[in-house]
Amino acid sequence: MKIRTAVITAANPAQRTLPLHTLIDRDGEERPVLHILVDEVLAAGIENVCMVVCPGDQAAYTKAAGDHASALRFVEQTEPRGYADAIRTARNCAGDQPFLHLIGDHVYVDPQPGGTARKLLEIAEAESCAVSAVQSTRESLLPLYGAVGGQRVHGRPGLYRVDTVIEKPTPTQAEQSLIVPGMRAGHYLCFFGMHVLTPPLMEILGRQLAEASGHVTLSSALAELAQREQYLAYLAEARRYDLGVRYGLLSAQVALALSGRDRAEVLAQLLELLAARAAAAPAN
């Protein structure tokens, strides 16, 4: 299978403006987060990008996309029914084909442009199944992410066959159900915010949303998928930065700066700031 479409969700009413924020990228250029994200998927070989947005946001996103605007197609999530519904809203864009999915309020800092996205596409196309990027995440951050458990794929470093998916597990749930061989104590495989999703996953989402009386999550659909067919997780070498958490934009900006051409200048400024703070601190 060849994956040509990406879906970026950006319809969360509380976080809808985060992809419009401007950061300084690794080349020292000021660009909106959205432009950086679209660069990520185009560098991986994606041809079309579907944006799931709130009603009325299309113009702002078109402007933020800049020279990538022609690659975008917009669909509106007309009511705030959650993340799983936002993905399902893009079903006509995806058609009956697998697609790459990114979360619009994350920044991904990879050693190579498009690296994680490209690797996910390669795995999904070779294995003909859904694949999620994951990141080793400390226990204290479990309330922020979905997490997976499973077994290593023999002879494939960093690749896992998933058997369990839990949305925002408690430490007790994680310790009981999400232990992965080789992971260091107190760390779990949590979602990176980037997936290749398949038509069976869309079908599961549609049914769960139709039947649910409560909140449906992507994790619940992936948990069902893992029981029906092969579903893999890839341990990403890159880092993800959630813009919606406290100091998220700051952390993403520092990470971009320290991985780019201005690294030495930024390090010098940080050291100068730390030295000034230390000098101003009262002596014990």
Q: Please give the chain's pLDDT, 284 residues, in tens.
A: 789 999 999 999 988 999 999 999 999 999 999 999 999 899 999 999 999 999 999 999 999 999 999 999 999 999 988 999 999 999 999 999 999 999 999 999 987 777 899 999 999 999 999 999 999 999 999 999 999 999 999 999 999 999 999 999 999 999 999 989 888 889 999 999 999 999 999 999 999 999 986 688 999 999 999 999 999 999 999 999 999 999 999 999 999 999 999 999 999 999 999 999 889 877 66
CB 105 within 8 A of CB 37: no
Characterize the bridge pairing of strands 106-109 and 146-152. unpaired
* 225: helix, strand or coil: helix
Note the pLDDT of residue 103.
94
What's the rounded Cα separation, in Å, for the pair 133 and 258? 23
CB 164 within 8 A of CB 174: no
What's the rounded Cα separation, in Å, for the pair 250 and 73? 29
| Domain spans in the chain, listed from the N-terminal domain onward | 5-280
Question: What's the predicted TM-score (pTM) here?
Answer: 0.92
CATH code of domain 5-280: 3.90.550.10
Q: Which of 45, 15, 67, 25 is nearest to 196 (CA)?
A: 45
Note the pLDDT of residue 111.
77
Note the pLDDT of residue 193.
94
Residue for token pair 């107190």? 186
Q: At what angle do helices 263-280 and 248-258 cross, to 10 degrees?
A: 130
Note the pLDDT of residue 186.
92
Note the pLDDT of residue 214.
64
Q: 46: burial class by Cβ within 10 Å (0-12, 13-18, 19+)?
A: buried
Q: Which of 31, 71, 76 is nearest to 57 (CA)?
A: 76
Note the pLDDT of residue 283.
66
